[in-house]
Amino acid sequence: MKNKFLFVFGTRPEAIKMVPLIKEMRKESRFEVKVCVTGQHRQMLDQVLDFFGVEADYDLNLMKPAQTLVDITGDVLKGVTEIMHQNFFPDYVIVQGDTTTAMAGALAAFYAKVKIIHIEAGLRSGDKLSPFPEEMNRVLIGRMADLHFAPTFKATESLLSEGAHPDTVWNVGNTVIDALLLGLETIKKDNGLKYDQFFNFLDRDKRVLLVTGHRRENFGEPFENICFALKEIAEQQPDVEIVYPVHLNPNVQEPVKRILKNHPRIHLIEPLDYPYLIWLLDACYLVITDSGGIQEEAPALGKPVLVMREVTERTEGVDAGTAKLVGTDQNKIIQETMRLLNDQEFYNQMAKAVNPYGDGTTSKQILEVLNEQLTLKFKKEKI
């Protein structure tokens, strides 16, 4: 009898981090693997699955205008429950990270008394309102999960300190590195020509600064501070170009376009499909971001990261020296960016620091653990 696994996810970051594990698990004859997507991020989710050649078995298609966290939570809870009871009742539900989809998907499994596997478990900022609602999402999933796959030693320690049994926690690195390396390998097989053409507006003699920013806690004045800092950096450094794929949220679009749209070396572009983003990540000089996953991806390619947040749950990167917190203080963003641009020794320290988030073997490690756990379970059942 095959062991049944249901992956539940709905956003692009989740898809990126789930795909390598889905592909590995679908190679196993003893596993029956199904994928349920919620569509929390519709277009961005689909393009990741298309790029990696992964098809969803169930699509809740929950995306709707002006949806709230309450809408998403209720719709995911109801939708996943219906799939489990009407289509595919799994032995395990697998969720990733800290999205509302992940929390509601885990809750649906908990209500159905289905075991929960949490990928990228144990991240903590210590502030339940930052990031919001992600911090409480991951705490709640951590309390419900049966198997915890942590990306770092610190995340492992957090889970153990909260009462997770040591036999249920594994430090395996982060699947985002698996996806990054798999994606770049795919791009290289295509010779990367279409990516060169897509980014033909860039002056290759200049250093590229990749900016990503979208967090709701930065809406309002913090985003204006970020934009004014970026404008000043471009003014002071004629040898750099800034590329900012601008999130579609109006709270991001308005200040970004109002403050930055007419500068000749600041390129405000549409949100990038995943392969274009990782191509640009590989080509850039440094990253300025408030995003989560890119704090893990960039160091794998030797790119220093300045994090525009007051706190981060990914403290391992800060501790390792691959990332530095700058918050949304205009002067601090300018100061630390200029230092990276003009102090080669400081740049090299960050660029060459060891990435604490893994080496691209996380999915294989998780597969080994699952095989071991299921073998142990089978032996116990026979006794």
Domain ranges of the chain: 3-174+359-382, 193-351
How far apart are alpha carbons 74 and 7 in whole angstroms? Answer: 18
- Model pTM score: 0.86
Over residues 88-110, mean pLDDT? 97
Residue given tokens 């929950």 in the structure block: 62
* pLDDT at res. 36: 98
* pLDDT at res. 381: 55
How far apart are alpha carbons 41 and 330 in whole angstroms? Answer: 30
Over residues 179-207, mean pLDDT? 89
Of residues 223 and 24, more confidence is placed in 24
Q: Tell me what percent of the residues of the chain surpass a pLDDT of 90.
A: 76
**Could you give the 3-state DSSP secondary structure of residue 9?**
strand
**pLDDT tens digits, 273-302:** 899 999 999 999 999 998 877 898 999 999
Beta-carbon count within 10 A of 60 CB = 21
How far apart are alpha carbons 155 and 148 in whole angstroms? Answer: 10
Q: Tell me what percent of the residues of the chain surpass a pLDDT of 70.
A: 98
Residue 9 has φ and ψ, to the nearest 5°, of -155, 165
**pLDDT tens digits, 304-349:** 999 998 888 778 889 999 999 999 999 999 999 999 999 999 999 9
Sign of the alpha-carbon torsion through 50, 51, 54, 60: negative
* pLDDT at res. 383: 46
Confidence of residue 380 (pLDDT cuts 50, 70, 90): low
| Residues with catalytic function | 98, 120, 134, 214, 216, 247
Say which CATH superfamily domain 193-351 falls into: Glycogen Phosphorylase B; (3.40.50.2000)
Confidence of residue 43 (pLDDT cuts 50, 70, 90): confident
* 258 Cβ contact partners less than 8 Å away, ≥ 6 residues apart: 227
Confidence of residue 1 (pLDDT cuts 50, 70, 90): confident
Residue 11 has φ and ψ, to the nearest 5°, of -115, 165
Lowest mean pLDDT among 127-131, 339-343, 358-362: 127-131
CATH of domain 3-174+359-382: 3.40.50.2000
**Identical topology for domains 3-174+359-382 and 193-351:** yes
The DSSP letter of residue 2 is: P
Of residues 117 and 188, more confidence is placed in 117
* pLDDT at res. 379: 56
